[in-house]
Structure 1
């Protein structure tokens, strides 16, 4: 029976023995819990992280909770576009069953900051870096039957708009607005990628997820990664009626990687008002349902990264 009609058990995941998954930002936050949960399936999990020390701490934490876990580190700086082909090549894998495009940066205060390549920093890290990384991973992904590109968007992105002529918020920069726009661009990329994969006859799927509302104060401690204080836990209790911790926020991405009933072009998020609870299928609507806008974002992203817009996805 399809798992769309039978319960998906977040505590008892199917085996993924022999498979390999890359999680960007897998050393901390929601990405850490995505990696921890995927490691429990018997798969090899690659943590994409800029910081080797933090990645090693995450590896140690996962192994302490998942005996025999297969976890490795990939040095990955999504804000440095010129480094991403080298990073993808250094994986040295013969299969890649999924990449979870999870890593992201959220700046809290002005001024507007730029990457070394001259791009607005959140747009560069959250969107352009993943756009380029997936392009360089595409040959490995499309050579792996039924592989998946899972793009972690944001609940806030669904109510934001995007100007293809000012994708990097040069005219009206506000940190939270620029963040939401970067995540909307990422989600539009994921949908356009799936359209292109289908047109190429590929078995690779591109799927969107979002984590809903996730707070550190509701997140269980992981020694070496992050410890929750007693004060944080107590202060977070009222918020637990509406929001959730990052362990639960990882569930939509984990389901998008593992559930055989998931289809390309779908959006998965928390079941309760899109902000907490078990992972559920959500409608793709609003700006996300505009293929012309997605195609313009793809073209602009290709130009900004210096990549040919017509990837080989066959």
Structure 2
């Protein structure tokens, strides 16, 4: 697939300053989200970790502070599987504006049985997609108060080979954990692109960008104890995979660039440079199935129905500053 390169030079190891800006990273206590938060903390921005587990959030914050002197990092409790809690989570940010939210948190189950959220949604679809869908609406007043805010949605390379089944979004008939996960991430990516279309139609200052980390493995990830530990044996076993894949620190690069690079535009897809699996971040052509705006629009309407979010409040677009859960 051909790439479309940004004209601005970019160095993943020399990030631009972002003093005075506020970034929220969902799931910033582990995996790719942790490295997104760590790297963004190096820019001087205030970084908020949205995490379900306070103890893990504290450990991640301490790890970042130990590696980034003067890091401005804190945590808020955020449970994307509990839609009723999102109003409190947004209010607990206690900021006048929010420059970026990185929708990174996610659940990935490897084995049956099928699980559900408190609202009765399939757990992966309910957390990865519906939780972020509802959170975005809760955050929209804060995002709109920033000069040029961004919503950065972290999809997955696993979504490239998946297709949504509009009649079975909750995987009631066809539940296979890996496939259901891929479809939940595909739903996120459709949402990120549809959100930008609606923001542009509403002449909003907020932009929505979609990214994916390529192939990111624990065995290729540098240690961050107690967040992530790596034994010498795991490192050796993972070495052959480094020809095609990368660690989660590198998997964070597309999201970090989408947050910071002024050349990034809403509606774009960013991923790793080499086969979409590893390397420095680049802009990609949208995957063919992601260009189907009709699928994205139907998913938007169904997501409104499932979350109780009003589809039309002033703009006639399903998006407005006053949107709230009914």
User: What band does the TM-score fall into relative to the shorter chain?
Assistant: over 0.9
* Post-superposition CA distance 1:133-157 (Å, at most 9, x none): 0010011101211100000001111
1:148 matched residue in structure 2: 150
Deviation at 1:90, TM superposition (A): 1.4
Match of 1:312 among 301, 304, 320: 320
TM-score (norm 1): 0.98
Aligned-pair distance for 1:6? 3.8
**In 2, Cα distance between equivalents of 1:166 and 1:263:** 32
| SS of aligned partner of 1:208 | strand
Counterpart Cα distance in 2 of 1:284 and 1:242 = 21
Residue 167 of structure 2 aligns to a residue whose secondary structure is coil
Q: Is the 2:148–2:206 Cα contact (8 Å) retained in structure 1? A: yes
Mapped to 2, the partners of 1:307 and 1:166 lie a distance apart of: 20
Residue 86 of structure 1, CA deviation: 1.2
* Equivalent residues in 2 for 1:102-181, closer than 5 Å: 102-181=104-183
- Aligned residue in 1 for 2:268: 266
The answer to which of 236-245 and 161-170 deviates more is 161-170
CA distance in 2, matches of 1:5, 1:307: 39
Q: CA RMSD in A?
A: 1.1
Match of 1:287 in 2: 289
Distance 1:196 1:5 in 2: 27
Is the 2:151–2:208 contact (alpha carbons within 8 Å) kept by the matching residues of 1?
yes
Residues 97 and 144, structure 2, Cα contact 8 Å, conserved in 1: no
Name the residue aligned to 1:49.
51
Alpha-carbon shift at residue 311 of structure 1 (Å): 2.2
The count of aligned residue pairs is 312
1:217-276 per-position Cα deviation (integer Å, ceiling 9, x unaligned): 100001221111111111111111110000000000000000000000000000000000
Moved more, 242-251 or 283-292: 283-292
Report the Cα distance in structure 1 between the residues aligned to 2:297 and 2:145, rounded to whole angstroms: 24
Point out where structure 2 has 5 or more consecutive residues left out of the alignment: 312-317
| Structure 2 CA distance for aligned equivalents of residues 112 and 311 of structure 1 | 32
Contact 1:194 1:265 in 2 (8 A): yes
Partner of 2:206 in structure 1?
204
CA deviations on 1:66-97 (whole Å, 9 max, x unpaired) are: 00000010100000011011111111111100
Taking structure 2 as the reference length, what is the TM-score of the superposition? 0.94
- Deviation string, structure 1 residues 96-147 (Cα, Å, up to 9, x no partner): 0000000001100111111111000000110000000001001110121110
Distance 2:94 2:167 in 1: 38
Q: Is the 8 A contact 1:200 1:313 kept in 2?
A: no
Contact 1:196 1:313 in 2 (8 A): no
Once residues 191 and 274 of structure 1 are traced to their aligned partners in structure 2, the CA distance between those partners, rounded to angstroms, is 19
* Counterpart in the other structure of 1:238: 240
Secondary structure class of the residue paired with 1:123: helix
Deviation at 1:313, TM superposition (A): 4.9
Q: Is the 8 A contact 2:154 2:213 kept in 1?
A: yes
User: Does the Cα contact within 8 Å between 2:8 and 2:263 map onto a contact in 1?
Assistant: no
In 2, distance between residues paired with 1:176 and 1:223? 28
> Aligned residue for 1:69?
71
Residues 168 and 174, structure 2, Cα contact 8 Å, conserved in 1:
no
SS in 2 for 1:277: strand
